[in-house]
């Protein structure tokens, strides 16, 4: 009974809350700084007829065709989704880790398993927000593909209402299956990040420098993104809701058959490299964003723990 009570206390603790808030604040700040890069990345993923170019060239095209505010189109819904998503992920990851390890040293295998569980919870809870923000972010864009139909949403709530009315509640979870497969992305990222952090500390309970945190955050995200990028592209296409299939097949939008179909179609049209279209933009955006996010997360959480008098305990758990 005592063991169960201890586990319950670890899950619902101030420390888990500090990790969650720090992760959410860090991610929102980092995404705001590098948001135009994400706009260019998403445009390359869903607009098949847009040629891959350098990041400045893509952004220059968007600004020229759609105005100066276009690179930040959809910023608010993305930030709302990101804030919720990272709060849930960081909270689940660190509460599960504290409950599972019980003051023992963590290992790459445990970090990976905990990361996958936290990712599954996060996907199931926050996918509707990501579907809506993908639609809003691409609304009003000038596409090269003629088969993409324009949408007209006045805001987050209106997007929810229209999607449910026109496509059904299930459409809010479009792309859930690739998203569940993509829980490997943050799981791999956290496994590498935590592993590199342990190596740099070499058993000493010390705080890493800002440069060290930035570099290992960037390395972890670069590896995770490259490994899972083809599925990220499919996820974006499904969330956008513009995948043309018959009515019968449309019920399978989140099935393995649809993922396979989309992957094969992309390979037939553009070759194997087509699966990695936009990777340069994605790496530039996601690596810089993740590195800054981890840096802010570590600084905010360590400062908060220091104020709470939990500094030593915080380092020992990692």
| Rounded-to-integer distance, Cα 85 and Cα 23, Å | 10
Q: What is the DSSP secondary-structure string of 91-143? A: HHHHHHHHHHHTTSPP-HHHHHHHHHHHHHHHHHHHHHHHHHHHHHHHTT---
pLDDT tens for the 318 residues of the chain, in order: 444 444 555 556 788 899 999 999 999 999 999 999 888 877 776 676 666 567 788 888 888 888 888 889 878 888 988 999 999 999 999 998 888 877 667 788 899 999 999 999 999 999 998 888 878 877 766 666 656 666 778 888 888 998 899 888 988 888 787 778 888 889 999 999 999 998 888 766 678 899 999 999 999 999 999 988 888 877 777 767 655 554 444 444 446 777 778 788 878 887 887 778 778 777 888 899 999 999 999 999 999 888 877 654 544 455
| Rounded-to-integer distance, Cα 19 and Cα 294, Å | 11
Which tokens go with 7? 């586990």
């Amino acid at each position: 009974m005592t063991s169960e009570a201890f586990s319950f206390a670890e899950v619902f603790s101030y420390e888990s809350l500090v990790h969650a808030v720090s992760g959410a604040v860090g991610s929102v700040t980092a995404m705001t700084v590098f948001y135009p890069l994400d706009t260019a990345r998403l445009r390359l993923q869903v607009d098949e007829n847009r040629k891959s170019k350098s990041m400045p060239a893509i952004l220059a095209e968007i600004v020229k065709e759609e105005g100066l505010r276009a690179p930040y189109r959809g910023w608010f819904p993305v930030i709302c989704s990101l804030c919720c998503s990272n709060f849930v992920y960081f909270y689940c990851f660190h509460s599960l880790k504290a409950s599972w390890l019980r003051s023992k040293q963590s290992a790459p295998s445990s970090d990976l398993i905990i990361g996958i569980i936290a990712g599954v919870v996060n996907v199931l809870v926050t996918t509707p927000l990501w579907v809506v923000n993908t639609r809003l972010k691409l609304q009003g864009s000038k596409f090269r593909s003629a088969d993409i139909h324009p949408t007209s949403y006045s805001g987050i709530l209106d997007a929810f209402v229209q999607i449910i009315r026109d496509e059904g509640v299930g459409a809010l979870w479009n792309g859930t299956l690739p998203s569940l497969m993509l829980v490997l992305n943050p799981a791999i990222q956290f496994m590498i990040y935590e592993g590199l952090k342990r190596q740099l500390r070499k058993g000493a309970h010390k705080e890493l420098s800002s440069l060290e945190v930035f570099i290992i955050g960037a390395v972890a995200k670069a590896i995770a993104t490259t490994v899972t990028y083809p599925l990220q592209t499919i996820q974006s296409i499904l969330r956008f809701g513009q995948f043309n299939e018959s009515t019968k097949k449309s019920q399978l939008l989140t099935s393995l058959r649809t993922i396979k179909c989309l992957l094969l179609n992309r390979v037939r049209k553009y070759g194997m490299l087509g699966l990695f279209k936009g990777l340069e933009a994605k790496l530039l955006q996601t690596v810089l964003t993740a590195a800054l996010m981890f840096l802010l997360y570590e600084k905010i959480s360590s400062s908060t723990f220091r104020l709470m008098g939990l500094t030593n305990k915080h380092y020992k758990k990692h």
